Amino acid sequence: MTASRIAWLDHDAKARERSIRLMALFRERSTRDELGLGALRDNIADILFPGTSTIQTRLRYMLFIPWLYGRIEREIAHGHLERGMVGARMAALEFEIVDALGDERGVFGKSSGRKLKRLPSSVYWAGLGSWGIRAMPWTQDQYHRNAGPVVARRAEATARTTEGDDAEPDERTRTWHPTLPPEPDRFPREAVLALTREEAAFILDRVRECHPTSLLAHLFERCDPADSEYPWHHPDRADFSAAQQELLQHAEKLAVLAHGAFLLYNLALSELRGVEEWVQLYRDRFAEWVDESQSFAFHSWDLQQLFDLVQSGTYRLSEGARTFLRNWLSLVVEHQESPGVLQQHTEARQLIRDRETLLKKARARFTNPEALRQWGGGSSTGRYTFRWPTVTQFHRDLHAALGAS
């Protein structure tokens, strides 16, 4: 898609090379939420693709985590692990997976190794609950504290059954889904990221049962993986449900609208810093965004419809975020017929400045010289994808295991 790329018509080869270098520098910081719109973005993503996150990598981690914790529960049951050591033991086992996977694509800790600060278990914990793979409602820390007592209650229940007691199974002792596929031989020492067919079928069943109306379930069950940059570009979009298509329409407009605000934010900061390379980069990108925005019927878009669709989501969308979006949309609509005006528009720039100042207060880059000096030249420069790269990789992993059938 050309809309998200930098236009090179007026650049010589040297300028193009410089801009590519700059964009590579900014890429890692492109998903920050500098204007406080992340709640709306994440609520949309939760409806479309529940259980996913931007920092998840490969689908089989959804099984790695319960397999490792299952091992820990057995170690507790056999007296080989003290109850207070669950967290430390889990970290050690997760690093064994890092060592086993080596250079496979999508490995947690491939670059940082033992310095990895956030382990996969914490990244996938919420998703495991969302998909019903994790049976207990606890946070990860709560599980670490309760694993020992749960194992003890489980042993007591087993003893009563052995003695002829026909008592109902204690659901409080269930930690993982009862049909979780067994861990492979020599796991985790010889872990691989490829799913088996049985494992893929289990995951498909979990998503289908827990989120039957989600776009994630539809993709997993009915579509082939696609190389599209955004979910609204999927070649099978016409077969999505009416509700899914409606939400995608809102998501695409939000992605474009918010992108313009973020580009203007970066342009204004670049001008304050006085770095001409950055200024020229964002002038080009904003001009390109203005051209693209002409094709969207923003004048007929009712933001309230989007707010209503996501109002029951996990994340609370503040009134300040709603007001900012309404005002920014109004300015975009007002100047769609005069595309060159918005870049230097005083009211638009003041809107961006006021929003960041409200959110960051004393640390706002527009008002704090030290915060501006520390700014690296790129924040929130990437367009919202609503976790689509993660979903695409998950879909490929699942499809590879299940095959064409």
pLDDT in tens, 318-346: 999 999 999 999 999 999 888 689 999 99
- Residues 45, 65, single domain; the answer is no
235 domain residue, yes or no: no
User: 3-state DSSP call for residue 150?
Assistant: helix
pLDDT in tens, 26-76: 443 445 789 999 999 999 999 999 999 999 999 999 999 999 999 999 999
345 domain residue, yes or no: yes
241: number of CA atoms within 13 Å, CB side? 13
- Residues 276, 170, single domain; the answer is no
- Residues 281, 329, single domain; the answer is yes
Q: Which amino acid is at 237?
A: R
User: 3-state DSSP call for residue 46?
Assistant: helix
Residue whose C-alpha is closest to residue 110's, from 127, 89, 121, 95: 95
Domain's final residue, options 193, 217, 250 = 193
Tokens of 19: 């801009």
Residue 354 has pLDDT above 80, yes or no: yes
- Residues 245, 381, single domain; the answer is yes
Q: Which phi and psi (to 5°) does residue 168 adopt? A: -65, 150
Instruction: Name the more confident of 6 and 400.
Output: 400
202 domain residue, yes or no: no
21 domain residue, yes or no: yes
The CA–CA distances, whole Å, from 241 to 47, 204, 305, 342, 399 equal 13, 19, 18, 36, 21
Q: What secondary structure letter does DSSP report for 29?
A: G
- Residues 101, 23, single domain; the answer is no
Question: CB under 8 Å to 352, separation ≥6 — which residues?
Answer: 35, 261, 264, 265, 268
- Residues 323, 246, single domain; the answer is yes
Q: What secondary structure letter does DSSP report for 318?
A: -
20 domain residue, yes or no: yes
Q: Which phi and psi (to 5°) does residue 60 adopt? A: -70, -15
Find the angle CA(144)-CA(72)-CA(141) to the nearest 5 degrees.
10
- Residues 244, 383, single domain; the answer is yes
> Domain total for the chain?
2
- Residues 46, 67, single domain; the answer is no
- Residues 44, 102, single domain; the answer is no
pLDDT in tens, 249-288: 999 999 999 999 999 999 999 999 999 999 999 999 999 9
Tokens of 361: 């207060």
26: left (phi over 0), alpha (psi -120 to 50) or beta: alpha
| pLDDT tier at 5, thresholds 50, 70, 90 | very low
Domain's final residue, options 133, 162, 193 = 193
pLDDT in tens, 202-235: 999 999 999 999 999 999 999 999 999 999 999 9
- Residues 111, 152, single domain; the answer is yes
Residue 301 CA to residue 141 CA, distance in Å, equals 43
Instruction: Name the more confident of 23 and 384.
Output: 384
Which residue's structure tokens are 């520098």?
A: 25
403 domain residue, yes or no: no
- Residues 256, 337, single domain; the answer is yes
234 domain residue, yes or no: no
Residue 136 has pLDDT above 80, yes or no: yes
Full residue range of the structural domain in which residue 301 is found: 13-51+240-388
- Residues 263, 302, single domain; the answer is yes
218 domain residue, yes or no: no
Straight-line distance from the first to the last Cα atom of the chain, in angstroms, rounded to the nearest whole number? 30
Domain's final residue, options 168, 193, 218 = 193
Q: pLDDT value at position 366?
A: 97
The CA–CA distances, whole Å, from 247 to 253, 306, 310 equal 10, 8, 9
